[in-house]
Amino acid sequence: MMRIISQILSIIITTSVCAKSQTSDSWSNFRGSQDLLGATRVNFPDKPKLLWNFQAGDNLKSAAVIANGKIVIGGTDGTVYCLDLKGKVVWKYKTENSIEAPALILNNNVYVGNLDGNLYALKLKDGSLIWKYKTDNQIMGSANYWKSGSKTVLIVGSYDYNLHCVDAETGKMRWKYESDNFINGAAACFNGKAIFGGCDGFLHIVNIESGKSDSKINVATYVAGSCPVSDKAAYIGDYDGKFSKVDIQTGKIVWSWENKELKQPFVASASLSGDKVVTGNRDKFVYCFDKNTGKLIWNFNSGNRVEASPVIIKDKVMTANMRGDMAMLKLSDGSMVWKYEIGNSILHNPAVIENLMVVCALDGMVYCFGK
């Protein structure tokens, strides 16, 4: 009886976690949800086929996002590309510097930052400029958002050490929160809080309404990735090769894991579904842990450095490495279901919607796989 109850609870938890991640036709930020879970419950084939590819004008270091039948990607040539689901160009918008941060699609608008430190708001329909907001250094991480009443704000970090809160409609600053070093990743937005790790080695928890710090937790050295948040806990990989679960209420580290022999950096952001958390490391491995205990469930040797964040698709995990190998693994045991060799470095996770996946390679090629 207890085993049956446990199975039922696991199903409920998995469903509730993934229900927050996205709709079946939308992957509107680079991790699919405000809490950056990197998980989805959409249907996707075990043996996907290459449907089309598209050559951008320069390298692609950012992830694609998808909403309302449109795919948006930023390139190092400073161009924002908007494609339809068949890979045809809908519009382009040229900024003045390289784009390495993934875009955010929200309310039929596109929000994307570049290495000039500008955050652009563009119309999804035609790419026309709505407003431009200036920070004092480069933007490397995606913007996120929070809605309270009728007001929607954008949350974005900069190498000017600040987390910026910007009115989504007007582009006016609401507040700035100063950290102690560069902010490289995106902030998770959860229960009215913005939660992020930075190059200062702290996990920052900021009240989105006031811009004031709720707490500042000393967790690690340099945190390059973004931190998914679930059940009042954040999951953080750091540059010293440690992966940790942090209780964001008590400020305590619940558990930590490290490969003491290799100690390579965790650059990828983790994915969560049910009781499992999956991440990748520069030591070439993809790791799956029990999110409650920190026990290592399985690992998978991808054959090259893993900097792209994994994506959990129901009971599968989509991964990619810096050699350009994509692999779909079983979430249960890490065994490989499907593999495709792109042949060029993949720095960011794919965008996944119903029966369709879009991934960008460093050589400027966009690939679409699906049914």
pLDDT tens digit sequence for 117-164? 999 999 999 999 999 999 999 999 999 999 999 999 999 999 999 999
3-state secondary structure of 13: helix
pLDDT of the residue at 22: 59
d(CA 203, CA 7): 33
Question: If you average pLDDT over every residue of the chain, what do you get?
Answer: 93
Say what the pLDDT of residue 205 is: 97
What pLDDT digit, counting tens, does each position of 25-62 carry?
999 999 999 999 999 999 999 999 999 999 999 899 99
Query: Is residue 10's pLDDT more than 50?
Result: no
- CA dist 57 to 67, 76, 129, 178, 363, Å? 23, 8, 21, 35, 9
- Output the pLDDT for position 16: 39
pLDDT at 15: 38
Structure confidence at residue 260 (pLDDT): 87
How many whole angstroms from its chain centre is CA 72?
A: 15
Q: Amino acid letter at 251?
A: G
pLDDT of residue 2: 38
pLDDT digits (tens, 9 = 90+) for 154-213: 999 999 999 999 999 999 999 999 999 999 999 999 999 999 998 999 999 999 999 999
